[in-house]
Structure 1
Amino acid sequence: MSKLAHMLGPLSIFWFVFITKFSMIQAESKAFFVFGDSLVDNGNNNYLATTARADSPPYGIDYPSHRPTGRFSNGLNIPDIISEKMGWEPTLPYLSPELRGKNLLIGANFASAGVGVLNDTGYQFRLYKLGPRRVLVTGTGPLGCVPAELAQHSRRGECAQELMKAASLFNPQLVKMLTKLNNECGKDVFIAANTNQMHMDFITNPKQFGFRTSKEACCGQGPYNGLGLCTPLSNLCSNRDEYVFWDPFHPTERANRLIVQQILEGSQKYVYPMNLRAIMAMDSRA
C-alpha cells in the first residue's frame, strides 16, 4: 500500500483498541486506546511544538465547556462519542499530566494531528502481541470531497477524482490485510469500519440526514469555506448541525455522531465482520 499511502497523505486511517481484561487486577475491566490523526486527536498536539493545533476559538464552541480543547471539532469527536455511548469514562491525551493513577485503567488517546500511514509519520507494529483483543480500524474517507479539496480543485462542487480513486483502491486493500491478520490470529481481532461509505452517504444525499450542505464547511474562508484554518476571523455558521464539515477537513459533532451510530450498530456494509455492539456482547460472554 506504499504508493497509495503517498497519495492519501496525512489524513488517513485511525485505530480504536479495546483491551477487555487486565491481568494486573482481579476484576474484569475494559480499556480503550486511540491511535490516529486530527480526526481523533483530543488534545495531544496542545503539548507539542506544532502549528497543527485546535487550541483557539471557535474550536470547541459546542463542547460542554464551550472552549477549545485541542479537538479538531466544534464539539465531541468520534472517540468521545464511542465512550459516551458505551458508558465509559472519556480517555485522556497520553501527554496529559492527568493521565496517571486510576486514569491509566481507562485507556489513553495517542492520536496526533498530522500523523499518517507512512512509516515516517505513522505507527507500524503488531498490536495483537501487545495485549489488545479487539482493534477497530477505519478506512480513509472520501478525501477528494472535503471542502479543502473542493476549494482548490472543484468548479461546480465535484469531488477531486484522483484522491477519490486513491481512497477506492486503498480501502479494499486495507480490509484484505485485516482479514489476513484475523486468519493468522484465528479470531476476529481486527474490525474494519467503512468510514468512506459512511461519509459518502452524507455527501450523496445530505438532506436525508438533516444536513443543509455537505460541500461548504461551517468555519473557514474562501470557496466552500475551504481555504486556510478555522480562526476567530473565519466565516462561522450559526447552526453547526446543518453542516457535514466543521472546518475544511473535519466533520461536525453531529456528523461524528452518525458515524459512531454505524460503528456501533451498522451492517457489514459499514463494519466488517461485526459492529461494536456485537463485539462487546460477544466479549461479555467470553
Structure 2
Amino acid sequence: MVDAQMARRVNVPALYMFGDSTADAGNNNQLSENGVLKVNFAPYGIDYPDEIATGRFCNGKIEIDYIAMMIGFKGSPPPYLSTINNPLKQAKGVNFASGGSGILDTTGQNTSISLNAQLMDFKRTKEILIKAKGKVRAKRFLAKSIILFSIATNDLFAFVQKFGFQNTTQNGIFVSSLATQFKSQIKRIYQLGGRKFVVFGVGRLGCLPASRVVNANYSCSKDLNDLSKLFNIVLKMELHHLSSRCRRMSVSYIDSYGINEVIASSPLKYGFTELKAACCGSGVLNAQGFCLPNSTFCENRNQYISWDLIHSTQALNEVSANLSFYGSPTFAYPINIQELVSM
C-alpha cells in the first residue's frame, strides 16, 4: 500500500484546492472582516490530530485530507493565507478554499474569499512557482498536479433564500448560468497550466439537518434535492463539453449526490446509524443552532453523517473519499481519482 502511494506521489507533485467550507482548511481563520464564519474553537477539530481546531468545518479531517493521503502526501496542502509570508510552504500545493464562498461573487460577499478571488490567488502562486523553477519546469509541475474544486452549495442556498423555489424554467435558467460560469472559471485554471481536475458535484442539500428540521417528520426537502440534482446534471454536461475541447485536459467528476444516496440507502454497511440529526448544535436534530463552544455534541461521532447542521463528519468524509478515489463510474465519471493520478 505504501509503495503504491509513493508511486502516485511521484506522479503528482502538488495539490491545489478551490472551494467553500467543504474544503476550507483554515483560510477563514486569517480573515478579519466582520461576519466571517470561523470554526477556530472546540469542539471543531475534536477528532483531528492533537484535537486542534484548524478552521476545518468538521470534527476532524475533511475529504481532501483523505484524498491527499491516498495519493501519498502526509496531508492536504496548507491554506493559502498562511503561506503568503513563506512561499516555501507552497511547495506541495495550496488550499484556496473559503467557508461561505461561491461561484458567484455575490455569494458570501465581504465575508469569504470568492472563487474568482481564489483564482487570482492561484495566479500569484503560479508566478512564485515560475520564479522558483523557471517557465518550463513550472509548466510541467502544474500539468502533473491535481486541481480540485468543491463549491456551489452556497450559491444554491442563496438562490433559494432569495427567490424560493421558482418554477422549472426559472430554476433551469439559474442553474445553467451558474454551471456556465463555473466552467469558465475551471477553464481559467486550465489556461494557467492545470491539466488534471477533480470536480465535486453538490450533495443531497435537501437532506442536511438544516433542511430536514423545517419539514414534517424531518424528511428531506424534495425541492432542494431536485435543484441539487439539476445543477449536477448541467455541471456534468459542461465538464464533458470543456474537457472534449481542451487538449490534454482530464476531469474526474465526483457524484457527491449519488455517494450520499448510496450511503443513506445502506447506512449500516458504512457504519452509520444516524442520518437525520447533527452531532453538534442545539434544538431539534441539533439543527436549530450552530455548533458553538458551549454546544453539546454526540459521543458516537463515527455513527453520524452530519457533524453540524450543514457539514459532514470525519467518518462520512472518509467513506466519501474512498468512493471518490477508488469508485466506479457511478461515483466518479468518466474516471476515478486513482485513475486520474496515474495518467
Q: Distance in 2 between matches of 1:80 and 1:98?
A: 21
Mapped pair 1:108 → 2:94: yes
Cα–Cα, structure 1 residues 29 and 148, in superposed 2: closer, same or farther, change >3 Å?
closer
User: Contact 1:92 / 1:99 at 8 angstroms: preserved in 2?
Assistant: no
Name the structure 1 match of 2:66: 81
Q: Distance in 2 between matches of 1:29 and 1:197?
A: 27
Cα–Cα, structure 1 residues 208 and 247, in superposed 2: closer, same or farther, change >3 Å?
same
Name the structure 2 match of 1:16: none
Q: Aligned-pair RMSD on alpha carbons?
A: 2.0
User: Contact 2:19 / 2:96 at 8 angstroms: preserved in 1?
Assistant: yes
Q: Distance in 1 between matches of 2:12 and 2:329?
A: 27
User: Contact 2:11 / 2:342 at 8 angstroms: preserved in 1?
Assistant: no
1:118-133 aligned within 5 A = 118-121=104-107, 122-123=115-116, 125=185, 126=187, 127-133=189-195
Q: Counterpart amino acid of 1:245?
A: S
* Cα displacement (A) at 1:119: 4.0
Q: Give CA deviations for 1:159-200 in whole Å, capped at 9, x if unaligned.
A: 011101101111010000000001111445222100011111
User: Contact 2:66 / 2:318 at 8 angstroms: preserved in 1?
Assistant: yes
User: Contact 2:250 / 2:340 at 8 angstroms: preserved in 1?
Assistant: no
Cα–Cα, structure 1 residues 182 and 104, in superposed 2: closer, same or farther, change >3 Å?
same
* Cα displacement (A) at 1:235: 2.3
Gaps of 5+ in 2: 1-7, 108-114, 117-181
User: Contact 2:71 / 2:341 at 8 angstroms: preserved in 1?
Assistant: no
User: Contact 2:83 / 2:90 at 8 angstroms: preserved in 1?
Assistant: no
Gaps of 5+ in 1: 1-19, 21-26
1:150-229 aligned within 5 A = 150-152=212-214, 154-229=215-290
Mapped pair 1:57 → 2:36: no
Mapped pair 1:135 → 2:120: no
Name the structure 2 match of 1:30: 13
TM-score normalized with structure 2 length: 0.71
Mapped pair 1:39 → 2:22: yes
SS in 2 for 1:55: coil
TM-score normalized with structure 1 length: 0.85
The one of 288, 293, 308 aligned to 1:232: 293
Name the structure 1 match of 2:55: 70
* Cα displacement (A) at 1:83: 1.2
Higher helix share: 2
Q: Counterpart amino acid of 2:303?
A: E
Mapped pair 1:93 → 2:79: yes
